[in-house]
Amino acid sequence: MPTLRILFTRLRVEEKLLREAAERQNIPCELQNVSDVWYGERPFCGADDVILARCVSHNQNEAVAQILESQGIRVVNPSSVMAVCGNKLTTSIALAKAGIRQPKFRTAFSPEAAVEALEDLGYPAVCKPVSGSWGRLLAKINDREAAEAVFEHKSMLGAIHNTFYIQEYIEKGDHDVRAFVVNGDPICAITRKSAHWITNTARGGAASNLPLDDEISSVLRSVHCTIGGEFLAVDLFRKEGEWLVNEVNDGGEFRNSIEPTGTDIPAAVVKAAWERRPSR
């Protein structure tokens, strides 16, 4: 019997909500801790199953998706989507190719070049690790001295941090927007308000409902057209009457978004994943 398998390595609220949502829809579901599993030619599960990959580590999640896809197993989101969303520079390049509005960005590979890139972009600007989340290691850089210090320190953090990803700082007021897209359809959005310039709800940003309109929905559909995936969590800024796409997440967290939007996000996600099963 086909089964929806929700894979995790760290059980978050989201994974429990996803399982409960599957049970409510009578979808045969298993919540599987894959921390101690090894993978090879031996099939991980039935060919008719479908995987909802929710490992908290991006690299592990992408690795699991890749190896299961090599076994012919359907994975949500596909590893190709993870590969784009898991690297902010890759995401920005994909959005740029598609002509989707986003903050200006620069990249450099040495602290000196990064400072020059930032001088070109103008202050203030934001430096982010290409692979990171939850607002971790973001740096708002207001002047050249700070740039020199931040880039030098970042260069000591290891290889991945020597690809400097620098983004225009957007005066977004006191909030940004997180929107959820399932199977290409925008289903709901929240504003995340914070006195701090980092608005992640993981860092205390307060969520409230943002009704979707044609304008934002059009932007969200174009993001999905560009990146694909059954479940995307898209972060946007509003600047001078336009939406700018800041980031696209393939493993979106939504615990703080269900109540304000009144949208059963986990139900939509498991339904979308279940519809991807081969035998459907």
Dist. CA 153–CA 145, nearest whole Å? 12
Contact between 133 and other proteins by CB under 8 A: the answer reads yes
Query: Taking CB under 8 A as the rule, which mask of x and - marks residues 173-212 in contact with other proteins?
Result: ----------------------------------------
Closest by alpha carbon to 32, among 59, 10, 13, 2?
Answer: 10
Min CB(251)–other proteins separation in Å: 5
Within 8 A by CB and 6+ apart from 63, the residues are: none
Helix (H, G, I), strand (E, B) or coil at 220: helix
> Is-contact 7 250, C-beta < 8 A?
no
Q: Does 57 bind other proteins (CB under 8 A)?
A: yes
Assess 18 for contact with other proteins (CB under 8 A). Answer: no
Assess 109 for contact with other proteins (CB under 8 A): no
User: Given the complex with other proteins, which of 31 and 189 has the nearer CB atom?
Assistant: 31
Q: Which of residues 249-268 bind other proteins (CB under 8 A)?
A: 249-253
Q: How far is the CB of 188 from other proteins (least distance, A)?
A: 16
Nearest to 76, CA basis, from 52, 101, 110: 52
Residues 6+ apart with CB under 8 A from 256: 190, 201, 207
Instruction: Identify which of residues 34 and 100 has a Cβ nearer to other proteins in the complex.
Output: 34
Q: Does 37 bind other proteins (CB under 8 A)?
A: no
Written as one letter, the residue type at 101 is R
Of the candidate spans 53-61, 97-105, 113-121, 209-217, the one that interacts with other proteins by CB under 8 A turns out to be 53-61
Q: Which stretch binds other proteins (CB under 8 A): 93-101, 107-115, 132-140, 144-152?
A: 132-140
111 binds other proteins (CB under 8 A): no
Q: Which residues in 62-81 contact other proteins (CB under 8 A)?
A: none
Tell me the three state secondary structure of residue 101. Answer: coil
Residue 55: which residues within 8 A CB-CB, separation 6 or more? Answer: 7, 8, 9, 10, 34, 61, 64, 251
Question: Residue 280 CB, nearest distance to other proteins (Å)?
Answer: 28
Coil vs helix vs strand at 189:
strand
Among 56, 67, 93, 139, binds other proteins (CB under 8 A): 56
Nearer to other proteins, 29 or 121 (CB): 29
CA–CA distance from 174 to each of 97, 193, 207 (Å)?
29, 6, 12
Rounded to a whole number of angstroms, the minimum distance from the CB of residue 214 to other proteins is 26
Please identify which residue in 131, 162, 194, 209 interacts with other proteins, judged by CB under 8 A. 131
Residue of 9, 79, 91, 257 interacting with other proteins (CB under 8 A): 9
Residue the block writes with tokens 């002509």 = 99
Nearer to other proteins, 161 or 276 (CB): 161
> What is the Cα Rg of the chain in Å?
19
Burial (Cβ within 10 Å: 0-12, 13-18, ≥19) of residue 70: exposed
Sheet holding 4-8, edge to edge: 29-33, 4-8, 50-53, 74-76
Q: Kindly list the residues in this chain that would bind other proteins in the complex (CB under 8 A).
A: 8-12, 16, 31, 33, 35, 56-59, 86, 129, 131-134, 136, 160, 233, 249-253
